[in-house]
Amino acid sequence: MDVRLPRLGEGADSGTVSTIFVKEGDTVKKDQSVLELESEKAVASIPSPVSGTISKIYVKDGDEIKVGTLIFSVAEGEASQSRDVQLNVPAHESTEPESPAEEPVAVAEESVPAMMPMMMEEPVKSASGFPPPASPSIRKMARDIGLDLSRIRGSGNGGRIVLTDVRAYIQRLQTLGTQPKAAAPAATTPKPAPVSIDFSKWGSVEKKKMTQLRKAISNKMTESWTSIPHITQFDNVDITDVLALRKKFQKAYERKKANLTLTPFIMKAVVETLKKHPIFNASMDEATEQIVYKNYYNLGIAVDTEQGLIVPVIRDVDKKSMLELSIELQDIAERTRQRKVSLEEMQGGTFTISNQGGIGGAHFTPIINKPEVAILGVGRGSLQAVVKDKKIQQRMIVPLGLSYDHRVIDGANAARFITDFVQAMQDFSEKQVKI
């Protein structure tokens, strides 16, 4: 039988798994402690309701679980068949008195949300790398309806997936689909199997496998683009004075083996602007419905590599000098192009800059690097005739596009942000550049 977390007491409807006393295959006696749960109030021990063999443990140390979460299965005495007491199974297959057939929907609604994240988050891969155990007919059915079997926990011996597991899984998906609150996990609903188009029908083609990086970019972009309502605010910035500063100090930087480019200027100006508009340096925690403001300024820098886009992160930009930033930028860009940048170096960003100035093009609408909430796209500068101080002057003008997450940032915020950023660039102080 499957054992779910029971209600432990007033207010204690969730907790963290602190110790698991048994492992799969162990025999337990009725009322023997199987695991300990730490809640805000106390440490509670969860006993096995029957004597038998632990056939499966679904949680691990540190897991946050709620009332109704499936925690382990125990095979009673000789009977090894697993029965799921709270699942919405058709009445004729249900043998458990605890599962009243006349109100299956109510049971499902109560138990489903609690177990959803755990049941569906990650596809499980077997240690030997083989696809999940299931009979040919089950595998065929899964292919036909586009189900990824590795996301389904089988109830049979060795995790074998049987028809009732598939049925229960689909029912869970359906319940989830009809629940308005379950917006976030819905993203993990398996998509129907993509259809391959035969382009060779219309002419000669060449096929190349997508690289891991390309697949990662594809997933990330789709995730960001489909889950965030994007708006892009355009503006232009006059960088004539910044270029003058750059020219003035370039030699000095070179003597320190640093190359002073436009990017550190943009980074410094971005951080200055972020400090005035902390919402642009925040993230939205969809699970807890909180906005998380960060007191650090880690800027992602989009780097164009041969294999595709990679965004390493430069940390604590506010605490670093222009010289330090120049050196670090050069180093990380080089290592990124060589694909030697570590995973940690790509995490923890608070805002991203995508500078295409070196390549060309004007305004563009960058996609936000989730979980960040905004990204600045910088185009190629061009000399333009501008009226300044009542005279027509030749100035270097750079196009800007600021994409932001309209769930947390409003249009007025964005207009203020970009105005302040333009100001910060145009009033860039020499003191900051000087070594």
Partner 1 sequence: MKSTKTDIVVIGSGPGGHAAAFYAADRGKKVIMVEKDDVLGGVCLNVGCIPSKAYLHAAKLIQEAQESDFRGISFNKAKLDLNKMRAWKNSVVGKLTGGIATLAKSRGVEVMYGRGYFEDSKTLRVETKQGQKFVTYDKAIIATGSHPAMPPAFDLGNKRIMTSTEALEVEEVPKNLLVVGGGYIGMELSTVYATLGSSIVLVEALDQILTGADPDLIRPVIKKAEKAFKEIRLKAKVLKMATYKKQIRVQMEYNGKEMEELYDRVLVSVGRVPNSSDLGLENTRVQKDEKGFVRVNDKLQTDDPMIYAIGDIAGGVLLAHKASKEARIAVDAILGENVTKKEIIVPAVVFTDPEVAWAGLTEGEAKQRGIKVEISKFPWSASGRAVTFDRTDGLTKLVVEPETERLLGVGMVGAHAGELIAEGVVAIEMGATVRDLAETIHAHPTLSETVMEAAHAFYGDATNLYTPKKRH
Catalytic (active-site) positions:
406
State the amino acid at position 153 in one-letter form. Answer: R
* Residues whose CB is less than 8 angstroms from the CB of residue 210 and which lie 6 or more positions away in sequence, other chains included: 218
Q: How far is the CB of 263 from partner 1 (least distance, A)?
A: 44
Task: Show the binding pattern over residues 34-73: x = contacts partner 1 (CB under 8 A), - = does not.
Answer: ----------------------------------------
Handedness of CA 124, 128, 133, 136 (dihedral sign): positive
Q: Which is nearer to partner 1, 47 or 156 (CB)?
A: 156
Q: Which is nearer to partner 1, 134 or 325 (CB)?
A: 134
Q: Which residue among 52, 132, 366, 401 contacts partner 1 (CB under 8 A)? A: 132
The residue range among 3-11, 196-204, 266-274, 423-431 that interacts with partner 1, by the rule CB under 8 A, is: 196-204
Residue 325 near residue 262, CB atoms below 8 Å: no
Residue 121 near residue 143, CB atoms below 8 Å: no
The residue range among 91-99, 130-138, 231-239, 387-395 that interacts with partner 1, by the rule CB under 8 A, is: 130-138
Chain position carrying tokens 């499980």: 124
**The tokens of 417 are what?**
């942000």
Interface of this chain with partner 1, residues 350 to 379, rule: CB under 8 A: none
Q: Which is nearer to partner 1, 165 or 272 (CB)?
A: 165
Chain position carrying tokens 């998906």: 173
Q: How far is the CB of 424 from partner 1 (least distance, A)?
A: 55
* Residues whose CB is less than 8 angstroms from the CB of residue 67 and which lie 6 or more positions away in sequence, other chains included: 4, 5, 6, 7, 8, 13, 14, 114
**What pairing do the DSSP bridges indicate for beta strands 230-238 and 290-293?**
unpaired
Binding residues for partner 1, total number by CB under 8 A: 28
Q: Which residue among 10, 40, 122, 198 contacts partner 1 (CB under 8 A)? A: 198
Q: Which is nearer to partner 1, 40 or 144 (CB)?
A: 144
Rounded to an integer, what distance in angstroms lies between the CA atom of residue 28 and that of residue 20?
13
Rounded to an integer, what distance in angstroms lies between the CA atom of residue 180 and that of residue 360?
44
Q: Which is nearer to partner 1, 91 or 193 (CB)?
A: 193
Rounded to an integer, what distance in angstroms lies between the CA atom of residue 28 and that of residue 33?
8
β partners of residue 14: 66
Helix (H, G, I), strand (E, B), or coil: what is residue 182? coil
Q: Which residue among 60, 201, 255, 431 contacts partner 1 (CB under 8 A)? A: 201
CA neighbor of 379 nearest in space, from 398, 353, 402: 398
- Which helix (H) or strand (E) is 284 found in, with range? strand 282-285
Q: Which is nearer to partner 1, 26 or 420 (CB)?
A: 26
Q: Which residue among 11, 129, 194, 229 contacts partner 1 (CB under 8 A)? A: 129
Interface of this chain with partner 1, residues 1 to 30, rule: CB under 8 A: 25
Number of Cβ within a 10 Å radius of residue 295: 8
Q: Which residue among 10, 128, 306, 412 contacts partner 1 (CB under 8 A)? A: 128
Task: Determine, following the binding rule CB under 8 A, whether residue 160 of this chain makes contact with partner 1.
Answer: yes
| Count of residues in the chain | 435
Residue 69 near residue 114, CB atoms below 8 Å: yes
Task: Determine, following the binding rule CB under 8 A, whether residue 133 of this chain makes contact with partner 1.
Answer: yes
Task: Determine, following the binding rule CB under 8 A, whether residue 113 of this chain makes contact with partner 1.
Answer: no
Task: Determine, following the binding rule CB under 8 A, whether residue 197 of this chain makes contact with partner 1.
Answer: no
Q: How far is the CB of 327 from partner 1 (least distance, A)?
A: 42
The residue range among 29-37, 134-142, 210-218, 284-292 that interacts with partner 1, by the rule CB under 8 A, is: 134-142
Task: Determine, following the binding rule CB under 8 A, whether residue 349 of this chain makes contact with partner 1.
Answer: no
Q: Which residue among 113, 117, 156, 371 contacts partner 1 (CB under 8 A)? A: 156
Q: Which is nearer to partner 1, 206 or 289 (CB)?
A: 206
Residue 251 CA: distances (Å) to CA of 254, 255, 260, 323:
5, 6, 9, 12
Q: Furthest-apart CA pair in the chain: how many Å?
A: 94
Q: Which contacts of 288-292 are long-range, i.e. CB under 8 A and separated by 24 or more positions? A: 291/408
Q: Which is nearer to partner 1, 133 or 357 (CB)?
A: 133
Q: How far is the CB of 238 from partner 1 (least distance, A)?
A: 56
Task: Determine, following the binding rule CB under 8 A, whether residue 391 of this chain makes contact with partner 1.
Answer: no
Q: Applying CB under 8 A, which residues contact partner 1?
A: 25, 80, 126-136, 139-140, 143-144, 154, 156-161, 193, 198, 200-201
